[in-house]
């Protein structure tokens, strides 16, 4: 099961412009889900002459029961936005929040499909 949790999934219907792996091939288990990979993906959507690039940053969490991609942040964030976001997440325990949010989304979707 692969979930794209956003209003317009077409925004990520292509290869990301950049990505950073935060966690991979570990044995981390959360609520019965084995977490295989956590990454942030950067999609550059448009460019403004004054403000620069409009960035869409998504989180992607891959588990043994499916994957979830959802919006983490977006806007005119300046240069090196992906690296700054990764640095913030890794220094403030944000990865666990990404994983928890994704596991909850997967659990809800699995329950919906059972009905």
pLDDT at position 71 over 70: yes
Domain ranges of the chain: 2-104
Write the CB contacts of 81 (distance below 8 Å, at least 6 apart in sequence): 42, 55, 57
DSSP 8-51: -GGGGSS--SEEEEEEES---EETTEEEEEEEEEEEEEEEETTT
How long is the chain? 115
Q: Which of 40, 51, 33, 47 is nearest to 12 (CA)?
A: 40
How, if at all, do strands 66-76 and 2-5 pair?
Answer: parallel
**What does the pLDDT look like over 21-33, one tens digit per residue?**
998 877 788 888 9
What pLDDT is recorded for position 65? 92
Task: Give Cα 31 distance to the centre of its chain.
Answer: 19
94: left (phi over 0), alpha (psi -120 to 50) or beta: alpha
**What does the pLDDT look like over 35-53, one tens digit per residue?**
999 999 999 999 999 999 9
7 close to 27: Cβ distance less than 8 angstroms: no
Tokens 């994704």 correspond to: 102
């Amino acid at each position: 099961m692969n979930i794209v949790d956003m209003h317009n999934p077409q925004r990520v219907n292509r290869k990301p412009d950049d990505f950073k792996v935060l966690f991979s091939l570990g044995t981390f288990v959360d609520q019965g889900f084995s977490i295989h990979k956590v990454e942030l993906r950067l999609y550059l959507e448009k460019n403004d002459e004054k403000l620069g690039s409009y960035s869409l940053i998504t989180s992607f969490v891959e588990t043994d029961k499916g994957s979830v991609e959802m919006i983490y942040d977006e806007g005119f964030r300046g240069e090196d936005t992906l690296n700054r976001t990764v640095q913030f997440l890794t220094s403030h325990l944000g990865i666990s929040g990404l994983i928890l949010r994704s596991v909850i989304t997967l659990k809800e979707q699995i329950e919906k499909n059972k009905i």
